[in-house]
């Protein structure tokens, strides 16, 4: 997700490592979009905005939730509106 520089996140469950330089994430984790993920997608021809959109849409994918079609449509419209206003 896109956060301000002053934003904070605390999510449970937490993960902890006793090793340095470990990159861990939980499948339910939220946070800033990883710069390397955006750069990877840009190297494949996406603009920065498109890359961010693809990542956010993947996070927000409602297809796996077995939601009613009407609710899916409303969520997708809200995503489109939110993403357009973010750039």
In a domain, 81, yes or no: yes
In a domain, 7, yes or no: no
Per-residue pLDDT for 6 more than 80?
no
Question: pLDDT at position 34, please?
Answer: 83
Which residue range is the domain that position 48 belongs to? 35-86
CA separation for the pair 32, 21 (Å, rounded): 18
Question: pLDDT at position 27, please?
Answer: 59
Q: How many domains does the chain have?
A: 1
Model confidence at 39, pLDDT cuts 50, 70, 90, reads very high
CA separation for the pair 32, 2 (Å, rounded): 5
Does the global pTM surpass 0.75?
A: no
């Amino acid at each position: 997700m896109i956060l301000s520089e002053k934003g904070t996140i605390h999510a449970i469950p937490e993960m902890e490592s006793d090793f340095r330089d470990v990159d861990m994430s939980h499948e339910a984790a939220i946070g800033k979009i990883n710069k390397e993920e955006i750069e990877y997608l840009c190297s494949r021809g996406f603009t920065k905005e498109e890359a961010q959109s693809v990542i956010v849409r993947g996070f927000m994918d409602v297809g796996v939730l077995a939601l009613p079609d009407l609710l899916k449509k409303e969520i997708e419209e809200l995503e489109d509106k939110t993403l357009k206003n973010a750039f």
